[in-house]
Amino acid sequence: MRAFDKRVIARLFRGNTSFGFTPNTKISVDAESVICRVSNVDITSRSCELNFGSRKRTLTGREANEVGATMAAAGIPSEGAAGSSIESVSKLRCTIDPNEIMQKAGGGAQCSFEMGQ
């Protein structure tokens, strides 16, 4: 993903829609897998691993909580294993239309994924 696109998405997630974006242009975000774990013993222990092919990113704390909560809100079921709740998806592909999001009518993001890793 281009640095410019990352900045646009960050602005939108902060609620900032007061900027221009090229008409009829969309941003694609793809991940091979996203796995989030929350301990049900140590409730402060939260992590997510995002796999983008040859690149991986690990989130902890608040960032991991936000991704995990979003996955739960999207209907991803949790699985339990040895003191953890785990949510995972694979083949995640999202298309973001900043101009449609800026209209604040409920659209602008389309995602597809498979359940599990």
Average pLDDT of the residues in 31-40: 93
pLDDT in tens, 56-112: 999 999 999 999 998 988 889 888 877 888 999 999 999 999 999 998 899 999 999
The torsion of the CA quartet 4, 5, 7, 9, rounded to 10 degrees, works out to: 170
Which pair of tokens denotes residue 3? 């640095």
Please check whether residue 117 is in contact with residue 50, taking contact to mean a CB–CB distance below 8 angstroms: no
Q: What are phi and psi of 19, to 5 degrees?
A: -155, 160
* Residue 38: Cβ-neighbour burial (10 angstroms; 0-12, 13-18, 19+): buried
pLDDT at 117: 62
Rg (CA), the chain: 15
Per the structure, the count of domains in the chain is 1
CA distances (Å), origin 43, targets 38, 51, 53, 84: 7, 24, 30, 10
| pLDDT attached to residue 58 | 97
Look at residue 19 and tell me whether its pLDDT is greater than 80: yes
Domain that holds residue 105: 3-115
